[in-house]
Amino acid sequence: MRKQICFLTLSLFLFSSMNIFASQLPTDFLATLNQPQLESEEHEEEIKDPYSVAFGGNLTSNNTLSFYEEQDLIFNNSENFGLWLKMPLSKSYKSFFACEGFYDFSITNAPNSEETDAKFIVSNTLDVPLFKFAFNFSSDKVTTNINLGRFYFTDTTGVIFYQSVDGLFTNFIIDKTELSFFAGYTGLINEKNAAYFENPYQSQGDFYALSPKFMVASARTKFNIFNTQFLNAEFFTSLDLGKLDYNKIYTTLAFNGAISQRLFYILQSTLGINIKSDGSEELKLANLSKVDLATYFDFLNSSLTFSSVYASANSQGLSAFMPVSKIESSAIGHTFSSMLRAGMMYTVKPVDSLYISLDSDAICSFNQTDSTLVFDGIQWSIETKWQIVSDIYATLNGKQFISFVDETPNYFLIGLNLGFTF
């Protein structure tokens, strides 16, 4: 039966590879290429009341049904209520205060659980992932943007660090050059919404659990080399204040731009250095490399993106790449360490209210003992988002992982999300 499932899905995979042999778009792919305006620059017109407050909220219901081969079904329901507020600090709205908070209740059945006798796992999460003051200044030569407080931050790759953090971010735009500096602390944010690649501690607290203590910092620059070609360089570091395991340093070099009017690219390579906190080990060098190609069509506002990611493993020349944040690169929990992933994504927007994406990936991992490359399997997914009316939307998604390794079972998931904004 398993061979039949694999054969049928593999046939579908090969047939659809002409269109959708796809992985997820890299984090902020369009933002990296096109550099849209900062949030602070969205409202430049003067307002009559400089201290007027904008606010709103959302209600979402997320439901998924999933199962591993030869195991019971797993059902998860999550109900989320969120509120946001934004208050200008200047007439131009370039400086403002913004915050977001939410409460999330989730319940999951617990089949085949060896850790608990409970039939259901209930989780309550209360968090404020955004609480910042933004100040923006412009002169004839320099535009300065400052964020102070709690906000989302991601590194150039979108793979090493991607989460909410307490800190200070400054950005300077001088002609065709952009410089930014960031420093933050993770020990006060809610660990329930921040997964770490290395974290031996168990979360304590039902609503709010303090994260491991890391001091993170970044310095990066972006140059317009010529025409539509850009060079990005970043130095990122994570210092362990809780004596978990390693301090980490990353140096990233990236090129991006347009190959033609409709074809764009991103090339990235990161050198990672792991330093044992107690100094008992020599430096460990690792590498993360990414290649992305995207093209856009007039036909139904569609796009096709090829993406590949390599994260080094323990071998004679390199060690296993170890990011700070734990970001899954597959439906069954592969992370961006000791792996190779390649695929394509196809997106289409037939009408303004409907968005569809189709993608598929091939996933390989490196054996930890002899560093041989193992073909773990393929995965595909489909997601549709329908904006029913201006304030109500629905999302339907499905995904499957077809394993080519006996130790790893096949996996399937289908989900339905409903949202209401006000």
Q: What dihedral angle (degrees, nearest 10) is formed by the CA atoms of 192, 194, 196, 199?
A: -30
Q: pLDDT: is 283 or 5 the higher one?
A: 283
* Contact yes or no for 238/161 (Cβ under 8 A): yes
Average pLDDT over residues 140-151: 94
The length of the chain, given as a count of residues:
422
Q: How far apart are CA 174 and CA 269, in angstroms?
A: 25
Q: Which amino acid makes up residue 400?
A: Q
* Contact yes or no for 215/277 (Cβ under 8 A): no
Q: Using 50, 70 and 90 to split pLDDT, how confident is the model at 32? A: very low
* Contact yes or no for 420/395 (Cβ under 8 A): no
Q: What is the pLDDT of the chain when averaged over all its residues? A: 85
Q: Which of 143, 219, 213, 149 is nearest to 182 (CA)?
A: 219
**Residue 100's CATH number:** 2.40.160.10
Q: pLDDT: is 303 or 241 the higher one?
A: 303
User: What's the pLDDT score for residue 215?
Assistant: 95
Task: Give Cβ neighbours of residue 23 (< 8 Å, ≥ 6 apart).
Answer: 307, 308, 309, 341, 342, 343, 344, 345, 359, 360, 361
How confident is the model over 238-283, as pLDDT tens digits? 998 877 667 899 999 999 999 999 999 999 999 999 887 666 677 8
Give residue 236's domain range.
2-421
The whole-model pTM stands at 0.84
Least trusted range by pLDDT, from 44-53, 145-154, 280-289: 44-53
CA distances from 101 to 83, 149, 151, 288 (A): 5, 14, 12, 34
> What total number of domains does the chain contain?
1
Average pLDDT over residues 118-140: 91
Helices (H), 275-316: none
Residue 30 host element (H or E): helix 29-34
DSSP category for residue 36: P
How confident is the model over 319-344, as pLDDT tens digits? 999 999 999 999 998 999 999 999 99
CB burial of residue 406 (10 Å; 0-12, 13-18, 19+): exposed
Q: pLDDT: is 120 or 24 the higher one?
A: 120
Buried b (16+ CB within 10 A) or exposed e, 271-287: bbbbbeeeeeeeebebe
Per-residue pLDDT at 40 exceeds 90:
no
Average pLDDT over residues 287-313: 95
* Contact yes or no for 55/82 (Cβ under 8 A): no
* Contact yes or no for 162/325 (Cβ under 8 A): yes
Output the six-digit token pair for 136: 């923006």
Average pLDDT over residues 66-80: 93
